[in-house]
Amino acid sequence: QHSCKLLIVGGGSGGCTMAAKLSKYERDVIILEPNDTHYYQPMFTLIGGGMKTISQSRSSTKSVIPKNVNWIQDRVKSFNPKVNIVTTSNGDIINYDYMVVSIGLQYNYDQIIGLREALDEKDSGVCTNYSSQYVEKTYQILQNFNGGNAIFTFPNTPIKCAGAPQKIMYITEDYLRRNGKRNKANIIYKTSTPAIFGVKKYAQKLQQICNARNIEVGTRQNLIKIDATQNKATFEFLDIPNKTESLEYSMLHVTPPMGPPDVLIKSSLSNSAGYLDVDPYTLRHNVYGNIFGIGDCTSCPTSKTGAAVAAQSIIVLKNIINVMNGKNIKDKYDGYTSCPLVTGYSKCILAEFDYNLKPLETFPINQGNELRSMLLMKKHALPFIYWNIMLKGYWNGPKMIRKIMHFGLD
């Protein structure tokens, strides 16, 4: 039995960022997080391409939680928002006055027949950058590739970092080119989405890159089955009933289907799709006014990224403090999100946009072009910002930088 003024559920990017920010104002904070290791997930793309190692992407959970915040190493089992209580897997009951929910997304591997077995099998050629458990396998497969189909998939669900399924494809293409194996490979992107990217400006450029580099793009196609004994992947055509196609692969990079965590789906906190039902601007729960949400688990119709978490964090902070003080809330999140679309070992398109899918670029150069500077930022600056600024509570996204950069230009 525990009691606190403020409970943060989930100690990933959103939870730790909010713990850092809120603990500067409030001393009675509990954070509930089951894992003892914290990963900087955006680095997984670079690990898959051999540009970073897994140990560079992780740190102990203890080290990313502020000293004056009480970490309970456990997971929420049920939410009881009517009586301001959560129960945990170990049987604890935690009572709160205010709560921030940041439990991220769940990977639903079982929605693809044979996926789990194929990932677990060492020599299968099937990998995913999405999990710390499998990301190192990607680079092994890349190094051992010796011709055939290299297939990259995007599932039929919302996912986090919607660019990541194709980043590793461009890295693979570049790798094979640099190692004299490109002419032995067919590189194929199979996506459930109707276009290669959701924002027109970047989609046009990415499609051009695929054309120029001889990458085949199949839209509205969804991976449903893997037969790892025969190296065969089966896709359904989402707009053509009953049509499927099976392809042989040498390398298959899968993005697993994702959805809100089960504990949220079965709670009274979720909307009909199972996500935490928050106002997309204030990030306050639509029914329970003492609850806020941040990050991938929320119903916000933005592309789910760490960059979005950064921009949301200052809004959640200001609004929750106003609610605690009995004041009106007025701060609004504009849907800002960003996706560094790594297009090879030396270049990156830095997509940034808002709820209207309108580009909202930080730097006064056209970020729709492939830029070396943006890859250097992705590799070196962003990890530094994450560990040393964001998780310490001082990073609200690049809005301020954008304003300074564009001073007098807009």
Structure tokens at 146: 């010796």
Within a 10 A sphere around the Cβ of 314, how many other Cβ atoms? Answer: 18
Structure tokens at 68: 């004056």
C-alpha distances (whole Å) from 5 to each of 25, 27, 99, 343, 362 are 12, 9, 8, 46, 37
In the block, tokens 């690049």 appear at 398
Shortest spacing between CB 86 and ligand FAD, in angstroms: 8
User: Closest Cα to residue 86, out of 15, 1, 27, 23?
Assistant: 1
Burial class (CB in 10 A: 0-12, 13-18, 19+), 91: exposed
397 contacts ligand UQ1 (rule: CB under 6 A): yes
45 contacts ligand FAD (rule: CB under 6 A): yes
398 contacts ligand UQ1 (rule: CB under 6 A): yes
| 340 bridge partner residues | 350
Shortest spacing between CB 326 and ligand FAD, in angstroms: 28
Contact 28, 68 (CB under 8 A): no
341 contacts ligand UQ1 (rule: CB under 6 A): no
104 contacts ligand UQ1 (rule: CB under 6 A): no
Within a 10 A sphere around the Cβ of 98, how many other Cβ atoms? Answer: 21
Supply angle C-alpha 21, 24, 29, rounded to 5: 80
Contact 400, 383 (CB under 8 A): no
Which residues does 212 contact at the CB level (< 8 Å), separation at least 6?
A: none
127 is catalytic: no
390 contacts ligand UQ1 (rule: CB under 6 A): yes
Catalytic residue selected from 16, 161, 297, 348: 161
215 contacts ligand UQ1 (rule: CB under 6 A): no
Contact residue for ligand FAD among 104, 114, 260, 398 (CB under 6 A): 104
Strands 232-237 and 244-248: antiparallel
- Among ligand UQ1, ligand FAD, none, residue 15 binds (CB under 5-8 Å by kind): ligand FAD
Nearer to ligand UQ1, 309 or 320 (CB): 309
76 contacts ligand FAD (rule: CB under 6 A): yes
Measured distance CA(322)–CA(327) in Å, rounded? 5
Contact residue for ligand FAD among 21, 75, 205, 347 (CB under 6 A): 75
Measured distance CA(246)–CA(141) in Å, rounded? 21
C-alpha distances (whole Å) from 204 to each of 196, 201, 208, 209 are 8, 6, 6, 9
307 contacts ligand UQ1 (rule: CB under 6 A): yes
Contact 328, 276 (CB under 8 A): no
Question: Which of positions 243-272 make contact with ligand FAD (CB under 6 A)?
Answer: 261, 263
- Binding pattern to ligand FAD, positions 269-298, x when CB under 6 A? --------------------------xxx-
Contact residue for ligand UQ1 among 259, 340, 344, 368 (CB under 6 A): 340
362 contacts ligand UQ1 (rule: CB under 6 A): yes
386 contacts ligand UQ1 (rule: CB under 6 A): yes
Nearer to ligand UQ1, 252 or 375 (CB): 375
C-alpha distances (whole Å) from 390 to each of 82, 167, 198, 229, 397 are 32, 24, 27, 44, 9
Within a 10 A sphere around the Cβ of 189, how many other Cβ atoms? Answer: 23
Question: Which of positions 144-163 make contact with ligand FAD (CB under 6 A)?
Answer: 160-161
Measured distance CA(259)–CA(111) in Å, rounded? 11
42 contacts ligand UQ1 (rule: CB under 6 A): yes
49 contacts ligand UQ1 (rule: CB under 6 A): no
Shortest spacing between CB 367 and ligand UQ1, in angstroms: 9
49 contacts ligand FAD (rule: CB under 6 A): no
163 contacts ligand UQ1 (rule: CB under 6 A): no
Question: Which of positions 13-32 make contact with ligand FAD (CB under 6 A)?
Answer: 13-15, 32
- Among ligand UQ1, ligand FAD, none, residue 49 binds (CB under 5-8 Å by kind): none
297 is catalytic: no
320 contacts ligand UQ1 (rule: CB under 6 A): no
Shortest spacing between CB 346 and ligand FAD, in angstroms: 17
Enumerate binding residues for ligand UQ1 (CB under 6 A): 42, 306-307, 310, 338, 340, 362, 382, 385-386, 390, 395, 397-398
Catalytic site positions: 161, 339
Site residues (vs ligand FAD, CB under 6 A): 9-15, 32-35, 41-42, 44-45, 75-76, 102-104, 129-130, 160-161, 164, 261, 263, 295-297, 304-307, 309, 338, 340
